[in-house]
Amino acid sequence: MYGCTRDEAALFRVLAPRLGVLATLTDAPLSETTAELARGDRCVSVDHRTPVPRGALAALGRAGVSHLWTRSIGDDHIDLAFAESVGITVEGVSYSPDSVADHTLMLILMALRHTRSVLHRAEGGDFRLSGAPGRELRDLTVGVVGAGRIGSAVVRRLLGFGARVLTHDTRPRSGARQVALDDLLQHSDVITLHTPLTPGTRHLLDRDRIGRLKHGAVVVNTGRGALLDTEALVSALRSGRLGGAALDVLEGEEGIFYADLRDRPVDHGLLQELQAMPQVIITPHIGYYTDHALADIVENTLASCVRLDGRSPRV
């Protein structure tokens, strides 16, 4: 189990013996060097925070590993074709969609109520009403791009708030109205992204599509950073074309999110520019990070290993 956080490691230590799994835990990411830890094992598990280099996959193949699980739904940090070429099957692990859905709704509400600016002023002792008033979800149309497990959970929450909801997906999977992507962009006051990152969805919201959004629209991204063209987003925010953004993921977040950089410069110019904008909220890829979701991730990772032996996992 590579890249284990302290919370994950604690869960693995409790659940692995119950399932009859002998787990080697390390906080180190998978690399050509650490791949040797897996010699003699069929299964390994990696975190989503660190890209997996080809050299590490090749080393795993030489060590006899045949299955790799990423403790995430997305697998864009792994070269799937190369893994297959060295005899390794890659799979994601499902977890509670409510974790990311709750976080998404929180970000939407914070953006609509200008929460970042309000908190900043209040912390400095300024308790006056200032700036534009907030907006209520029941008065707005929210476009949900990607209506899988997480997107559908977001839709359910939005409908509970009385919002008008439009969805766009390769197949209709929620109770909201399914429309073409261009229609969703044109009519939505808030756009939230929940589609997987693939070569076809990279920069799904590019400069052209961002230019088609309603004036003052808010963009929310809790999927993957590269779904958004960050340079185009910054430009639209700077010009006032967009009313705000709330981002839990960001292009180039690797090596920055999950690191303590209080005493070091942040080598990401666009992130620094976004952080300087009062209408932008950034959280460091923590949408999934709840006790329930972590337990799901660990349990489902171990259960997947057990199923390789033809056993029925019981925790």
Q: Which residues does the annotation mark as catalytic?
A: 224, 253, 285
Q: Are the C-beta atoms of 205 and 237 separated by less than 8 Å?
A: no
Taken as a whole, the chain contains a residue count of: 315
DSSP state of 214: P
Cα distance between residue 216 and residue 38, in whole Å: 51
Alpha-carbon distances of 11 from 98, 164, 313, rounded to whole Å? 20, 40, 16
Per DSSP, the three-state class of 274 is helix
DSSP-assigned letter for residue 211: T
Is there a contact between 227 and 197 (Cβ–Cβ < 8 Å)?
Answer: yes
Among 244, 234, 248, 253, which residue's Cα sits nearest to residue 278? 244
314 in helix, strand or coil? coil
**Two tokens, residue 255:** 């090596």
Our CA dihedral for 5, 195, 235, 105, rounded to 10 degrees, sits at -70
